[in-house]
Structure 1
Amino acid sequence: MGFGDLKSKAGQEALNNYLADRSYIEGYTPSQGDNVVFSALSGAPGAGLPHALRWYSHIASYGNDRNSFPGQKKDLSTYGGAGAGSAAAKKPADDDDDDDDIDMFGSDDEADAALEAEKKKRVAEYAARKAKKPVLIAKSNIILEVKPWDDETDMKDLEKQVRTVATDGLKWGSSKLVPVGYGINKLQIMCVVEDDKVGTDFLEESITAFEDFVQSVDIVAFNKI
């Protein structure tokens, strides 16, 4: 049945619930399913939808590269909802049913040999599937707020400076200006980091090093992906 209208609150809540225990729309890696659903949104989900926001920030970090995600694009209505989870839920049951198809009570030597060969085949197939399963890299989605010194600080230059912070395991995402008052805005910017490579201390120290632009850095949100 899909998520419905992803530009509506109900559609985004359905997406948030769907992603509560998933990293991606389909499978364990980014696919065209993520690209299709991402494209159907008009912007980042609200802070009250943490799972959808975490997923959105992660997919946004790929930029135009998401068009090269594996898989084929399907109609938006085919993603999400009860239908998306049912196939995965049925898979273990299907594996169990395969064993039921074998006559465990056969006494004929040929039947026993065939049974043993079938077991070995299934073990080998299982081992091959497990070996192909991608290794998940622990990542986090972080939203930072960067405060300037005053209303005379050029926020475009400030953002350019922030985005020059680069290291392996760090990808910058979308950003926006948030009014503070008295004509002052602060920069709210998202990034995705690999937990084993990039820490919050590194981000804070690197950004506050631009002392002509930056007064302070705060972490607004920190979510595991």
Structure 2
Amino acid sequence: MAFGDVKTAQGLNDLNKYLAERSYVSGWVPSQADVQVFEQVGKAPAGSLPHALRWYNHIASYTPAERKAWAAGASPLTAGGKPTAAPAKVEDDDDDDVDLFGSGDEEEDAEAARIREERLKAYSEKKSKKPALIAKSSILLDVKPWDDETDMKELEKQVRTVEMDGLLWGASKLVPVGYGIHKLQIMCVIEDDKVSVDLLTEKIQEFEDFVQSVDIAAFNKI
């Protein structure tokens, strides 16, 4: 559809009918065709022309600089206010518009993929920086002396001299076992990957002048 002088009642009426099923004068986005018709109309159409009024107010909401930046578009205005030729077929315009929107979808998909990759990368980096869980165990040892004449304070002192990477000594106490003999119960925490329980007990038993035997009274994973 082409229409002539939009400054006349007939021209405005034709414009109103033209915009009844369109958002813009040409295509699916505002263009220079809208600017041309907007400038020709000059002022807001009457309320009896709702489609033309809606379009005019929408175009007017943009600044002159924004309107100047719009791409060219096929104008339905005709020279001298008289129709001279029909505009391009709607089907052709639709095809062009579909291509444009298709490109937009591809750009949006690419952007969404980029954001997803960035988030996955950030999550992986955060996870890699998270300290690994260290497996530990809490052990209660029973250290038995030879007899009631064994110096238990010295025995404990000797036991605590055992140092291993991943070994931490804790609280201790003397527990009577009978006939005036006491055994040393001592707590320790070990890192499972660094400390062998068997090696630990062997090192304690090396204090032969004080230690008769070493038993594990309790063993708990932390």
Using structure 1 for the length normalisation, give the TM-score.
0.49
Higher relative contact order (CA 8 A, sep 6+): 1
Rg larger for: 2
